[in-house]
Amino acid sequence: MVSSFCWGCLTRLRPTPPAVIPPISAPKAASFHTSAVRLSVVKKKQSVQGGRFRESNSPRMKRKKPVDRARPPAVGERKALRKRLVLSNPNALEIEGMQDVSAETMVDPRLRGSVLGLPVPMLTQLRAVEAFKPTQGWSIFRRPGTVVRQETLELGRLIDGISDEGENKGKSVKKIVTGVRGSGKSVHLLQAMSMAFTKKWVVFTVPEPQDLVIAHTGYAPLSDETPDLYVQNAATAALLSRTVSANEEVLNGLKVSQNHPALKSAVKPGMTLAEFARLGTQDLAIAWNVFQGLWSELTATSAAPGLEKDFKPRPPMLVTADGLAHWMKDTQYRTTELKPIHAHDFVFVRHFLSLLKPGTEKPTFPNGGLLLYATSASNNPSVYSFDVALKQVEARHAGVKPSASEFPQADPYSGADQRVIDAFDSPKPTVAKEEMLELQTLSGLSRDEARGFLEYFARSGILQENINEEWVGEKWSLAGGGVIGELEKLGRRLRTMA
């Protein structure tokens, strides 16, 4: 069929109008300068697809220059630097007429508020038992010294009474020292150690109870019969090493006078207690047996049959531990079922906590002694059961009966650990010459003691101020009522005169 749209119709159509947009032309140069005409379209640089002969096509990366890195510190170097002790400052002034701690000065009430120096030969013993702390300000004075406060005089009279002939001879005293941060709890223990060394006591110390619960030392079940109890041989050997180093003179004068079936092959006749204690440092497998044997030797009042020849009366003992709260919770150690082990399941901890209980047939220290456990305010875990136990100790010592309504009790919905509360359940002793467990709270220094302490800074050349009653009262108030740690911060700020 022929289309009706013919050729003639096509020829009568209008032609298409020209484009409205003008063609793109190259930009012209401006009339006020002679720069070259810029191209409107910049052609892309053609990349070479193929490389030259035997040349790689992969991108080239610039090598970084080697960086010289410092050599990492040796094993234990960081810990040694963190625990480094500096006990002398040669730039500080020498204080003329400064007295030392002795049997006479530690009970002299006229020296209250003054600072007594620690004898130089005793510094080795105090270092051995780790009595000094790196955070204490020993490095700003010419020689280490401690201020005599009211609690220091009471402590000196107590140690002097236990040592000398009198009604207090051979008494067993137990105290838990508490207080705010910077109140001088650790230094109070140091003062007790220095006095005990002066009186030729045997000193046992646990300077860092935290080290026994953070899984930094080896442990093992005590025996197949008691798989729930664990022993820490390395920690026990370290305790024996500290004890021998600090009390070597006293232990060398005493000889073995008891039978030790577990160490029958190692013990020789006529062996001194210093040689006996070194058996545990030489062989870690028998460290705990050696410690038990040494403790039985020092708490003996008579020799075993057949060993009466070399027996001598045993001296009193001082036992200290700084940071007691770390022993009141689960440790970082695990059982074979990966369950946490409680601190009281370690025989090391259990032994020192058992000393809080009164003796049944004989006192805890039959030859006399002092037990001083201190809490820590700067590194103190929050244990509710321990706080309740301390309140009960204070109430029990004040005469409040456990059946009374005002006696502190744990909240029944708090989930308190009954093992912790039972560890401090220390009733009135039934044995003579043994006192009840006491809670001692250290507060700040008095104004007179604070003035003597700040005058020690001035005489050392550290403090350049006119020390008078008004100035001392101001610093005493700023220090929270004479908190000795805050007074030290105020006194060590050196001010130069214009």
- Count CB-CB contacts under 10 A for residue 279: 19
Q: By C-alpha distance, which of 324, 51, 335 is closest to 210?
A: 324
- The list of the chain residues with pLDDT below 50 reads 1, 19, 39, 496, 498
- Distance CA(481)–CA(487), nearest Å, equals 10
Residue 221 structural domain: 88-254+314-380+435-447+476-493
Concatenating the DSSP letter of every residue in 212-281 gives GTTT-S--EES-SS-TT-EE-HHHHHHHHHHHHHHSHHHHHT-B--S--GGGTTT--TT-BHHHHHHHHH
For residue 419, give both structure tokens.
Answer: 């093992």
Q: By C-alpha distance, which of 252, 217, 182 is closest to 445?
A: 182
0.85 exceeded by pTM: no
Whole-number mean pLDDT of the chain?
Answer: 87
What is the number of structural domains in the chain?
A: 1
Neighbouring C-alpha atoms within 13 Å toward the C-beta of 442:
31
In a domain, 344, yes or no: yes
In a domain, 65, yes or no: no
Q: By C-alpha distance, which of 428, 406, 402, 497 is closest to 458?
A: 497
Q: Which residues pair with 322 in a beta bridge?
A: 374
Q: Is the dihedral of CA 83, 89, 91, 95 positive or negative?
A: positive
Q: Which own/partner contact pairs does 222-231 have at CB distance under 8 Å and 24+ positions apart?
A: 222/288, 222/347, 228/345, 229/345, 229/346, 229/347, 229/350, 230/333, 230/341, 230/345, 230/346, 230/347, 231/288, 231/346, 231/347, 231/348
pLDDT score for 83: 86
In a domain, 10, yes or no: no
pLDDT score for 207: 93
pLDDT score for 9: 58
**End-to-end alpha-carbon separation of the chain, Å?**
124
In a domain, 259, yes or no: no
Judge contact between 206 and 242, C-beta under 8 A.
no
pLDDT score for 232: 96
pLDDT score for 465: 84
Category of 4 on φ-ψ map: left (φ > 0), alpha (ψ -120 to 50) or beta? alpha
- Distance CA(179)–CA(144), nearest Å, equals 23
For residue 132, give both structure tokens.
Answer: 């000094």
Torsion of Cα atoms, 295 then 300 then 306 then 307, to 10°: 70
Measured at the alpha carbon of residue 435, what is the angle toward residues 431 and 438, in degrees to the nearest 5? 145
Burial 167-187 (b: 16+ CB within 10 A, else e): ebebbbbbbbbbbbebbbbbb
For residue 333, give both structure tokens.
Answer: 């150690």
Torsion of Cα atoms, 269 then 273 then 279 then 282, to 10°: -140
Concatenating the DSSP letter of every residue in 13-36 gives SPPPPPPSSPPP-PPPPPTT--PP
Contacts of 47 by beta carbon, 8 Å cutoff, 6+ apart: none
pLDDT score for 1: 47
Q: Which residues pair with 179 in a beta bridge?
A: 442
For residue 371, give both structure tokens.
Answer: 């037990």
Residue located via tokens 């990492």: 72
For residue 401, give both structure tokens.
Answer: 């009966």
- Distance CA(129)–CA(134), nearest Å, equals 14
pLDDT score for 419: 94
pLDDT score for 491: 86
Task: Give backbone dihedrals phi and psi of 270, rounded to 5 degrees, phi first.
Answer: 75, 15
Judge contact between 299 and 288, C-beta under 8 A.
no
Q: Over the stretch 256-300, which tens digit does the pLDDT of each residue have? A: 999 999 898 889 888 999 999 999 999 999 999 999 999 999 999
In a domain, 482, yes or no: yes
Judge contact between 142 and 295, C-beta under 8 A.
no
Element (H, E) at 147: strand 145-147
